Amino acid sequence: MAFFGLPLIFVILAYVMIYFIAQPIIKPVSSVFDMMTGDTIPDFSENQNTNDILKISNLGDQANLISSADMTLPRYGDVYANLTIDGTGVDAPVYFGDDNAILRKGVGQYCGSMLPGFGSTTLIGGHVNTYFKGLEKVEVGNIIDVNTTYGAYKYTVTDLKIVDYQDKSAYDLSANHDNLILYTCYPFGTLGFTSQRYFVCAELTSGSKVKYTADN
């Protein structure tokens, strides 16, 4: 028994040691493969890929400019807007939802955030090497245009920041004012998983507010 058992134990220990020693090589290689196959997406929420439809029943009465009853709210996977930032090359369709399939086609709004005009935070993510590659050219003061199916919105960039990928303090989904947060992986020009995220924070400059009505 010892004749077979001891060699087996040594083989197992050897494989374990090789695995841990090779981790610095294995992880980047596997991350690059994941990015190339489109399976790696920015992850900022415990419910990042939820299929829940936006709940607006708690928004209350806002400025009486657009009635939600007159709107067709997007469902998960719908394109509802186009986002551009002059001088940066950013020009992308905006989908409601943020799974892998969506982020291959455009940028995606996290479903736990609000649509533009609903008085809170709109959180939109995209891949660093495709639709949000141009975020590296964004400067404070730039204008972000979000043209939705129900109105045109302009936001002014107020802050740029780099945070750890697990740091959720970069945005506030419970904010009581319209603001836009764009995010992507960081550093720019890298492939695969990175431990940092780049955030572009902007405040609403112009655009119609939405009045929620119970008939919607």
Q: Tens digits of per-residue pLDDT, 42-91? A: 444 444 333 344 444 333 334 447 877 788 889 999 999 999 999 999 99
Domain of 126, in residue numbers: 38-211
List beta partners, residue 168. none
| pTM for this predicted structure | 0.72
Asked whether residue 122 is domain-assigned, the answer is: yes
Asked whether residue 15 is domain-assigned, the answer is: no
Asked whether residue 124 is domain-assigned, the answer is: yes
Give the CATH number of the domain where residue 170 resides: 2.40.260.10
Report the mean per-residue pLDDT for the chain: 78
pLDDT at 194: 85
43: left (phi over 0), alpha (psi -120 to 50) or beta: beta
Asked whether residue 181 is domain-assigned, the answer is: yes
Backbone phi, psi, residue 68, to 5°:
-65, -20
Our count of domains for the chain comes to: 1
pLDDT at 75: 94
